[in-house]
Structure 1
Amino acid sequence: MWKRTTKVLLIYLFLFGTLFVVEPLTVNACSCAGPPSIEDQLNPKTAIFKGKLLSLKKSVNGMIWSSAEVKAQFEVKTIWKGTLSSQTTVYTALSSASCGYEGFEVNEEYIVFAYGDPDRLETGLCEGTKTTASAQGDLKALGAGYEPSMITIHQVDNRSVIIVLVLAISLTLLVLLVLSLRRRRR
């Protein structure tokens, strides 16, 4: 009995002792492969622009903190890729641990590399987004861009225009049909 108790005690002491000897590794939830070249950035991105950050709004989409996001509203100054109005919204994860871009500050200018649907642009830690002060090399490589269209943020999207046109045409046809039926009755 004594041998068995000693054996169990030695095993527990060994395991407990290794906790102080073994150093935990630092693990990053999000790590970037390295800064991509401008040429590598152009193809996969939906939009590349320079703009002044107007507002930041943090929102939590669910019970899990990592699902929280930041909504960044920009005044667009120069565009190199994409079709943007004078103001646009870009989303990012709240934390850099979830590959979100944490460096946004209101009233600062940024060069933003965004991906995703044009109606919901997103950026992140590994996308190349940075302040214009630290992006002089990128700005030089991109060259002259173009100004945004003068469409306001309250612009009507194409689907709304199509729906209104279809409704107008349908209403016109209905009125013509009613008038035609009245003339036949006389």
Structure 2
Amino acid sequence: MWKSRTMILLSFLFMLIALFIVEPVTVHACSCAEPPSIEDQMNRKTAIFTGKVLSLTKPDKGKFWSSADPVKAQFEVKTVWKGKLGSQTAVYTALSSASCGYEGFEVNKEYIVFAYGDPDRLETGLCEGTKTLASAKEDLKALGAGYEPSKEPISGEASYEMSTSKEETDNRLIIIGLCAVILIAFLLLVLALRRRRS
């Protein structure tokens, strides 16, 4: 009797801890509509620029990962048509095209990038019009003359990354705290059951 109660309580404890630790992974299928016109792109996007990929930072594929996990592409900006960009900027995209991520980025290759989102965290994807510079002749012709990026560094990205890492740390501390409370409650329950039996 005692062993079966203990097993039920342990099973309940593990399920409860799993609810706090395991995050659900959302799966998306990506299908793109008709590519937007350059006029639409100028109206909708936060930034439009050409640049060379200096580095790619992919997420660690640990136990839990998603096709939507972000990849960071660091660009040396060459020409800008929209947005206030420094000589270097980062653009994020989903890891896989299954989640509408742009998988074509390669270090030392040049691209035209159509980015949306907050100016401090630009994002692009499979359906945004981003492509290699070699295949962007029509887009470049329609865009016309652009302007050079700012010579001064644009702030914001570092503070965004710091706030994101602080948020992740806070979430981990909350989860650890909840697990500790559950464990203490379980131990108190086991002690109470033992006292009742004796």
Q: Report the TM-score range of the alignment, normalised by the length of the smaller protein.
A: 0.5 to 0.7
> Sequence identity, in percent?
77
The 10-residue stretch of structure 1 (37-46 or 90-99) with the greater mean CA deviation from structure 2: 37-46
TM-score by length of 1: 0.65
Counterpart-to-counterpart distance in 1, 2:117 and 2:111:
19
Cα contact 2:68–2:101 (8 A) shared by 1: no
Q: 1:137 to 1:71 in 2, by over 3 A?
A: same
In structure 1, the residue matched to 2:30 is 30
Cα contact 1:29–1:97 (8 A) shared by 2: yes
The residue matched to 1:41 in structure 2 has which SS? helix
Mind listing any 5+ residue stretches in structure 2 that lack a counterpart? 1-27, 160-198
Indicate yes or no: 2:130 matched with 1:123.
Answer: no
Mind listing any 5+ residue stretches in structure 1 that lack a counterpart? 1-27, 161-186
In the TM superposition, residue 144 of structure 1 has moved relative to its aligned partner by 0.4
Counterpart-to-counterpart distance in 2, 1:67 and 1:99:
8
Indicate yes or no: 2:81 matched with 1:83.
Answer: no
Cα contact 1:111–1:130 (8 A) shared by 2: yes
The residue matched to 2:58 in structure 1 has which SS? strand
In the TM superposition, residue 64 of structure 1 has moved relative to its aligned partner by 3.4
In structure 2, the residue matched to 1:141 is 142
Query: CA deviation digits over 1:74-117, x for unaligned, max 9?
Result: 00000000000000000000000000000001101100000000
In structure 2, the residue matched to 1:8 is none
The residue matched to 1:43 in structure 2 has which SS? helix
1:17-56 correspondence runs (5 A): 29-56=29-56
Counterpart-to-counterpart distance in 2, 1:67 and 1:33:
19
In structure 2, the residue matched to 1:132 is 133
Structure 1 or 2, whichever has the larger Rg, is 1
Matched residue count:
129
Cα contact 1:60–1:68 (8 A) shared by 2: no
2:116 maps to amino acid: Y
Q: Which contiguous aligned blocks of 4+ residues in structure 1 show a shift greater than 4 angstroms?
A: none
2:58 maps to amino acid: K
In the TM superposition, residue 156 of structure 1 has moved relative to its aligned partner by 4.8
In the TM superposition, residue 121 of structure 1 has moved relative to its aligned partner by 0.1
In structure 1, the residue matched to 2:111 is 110
Query: CA deviation digits over 1:28-81, x for unaligned, max 9?
Result: 810000221111111110000000110001015982322311100000000000
Indicate yes or no: 2:94 matched with 1:93.
Answer: yes
TM-score by length of 2: 0.61
Cα contact 1:61–1:67 (8 A) shared by 2: no
The residue matched to 1:67 in structure 2 has which SS? coil
RMSD in angstroms over aligned alpha carbons? 1.9
In structure 2, the residue matched to 1:74 is 75
2:44 maps to amino acid: P
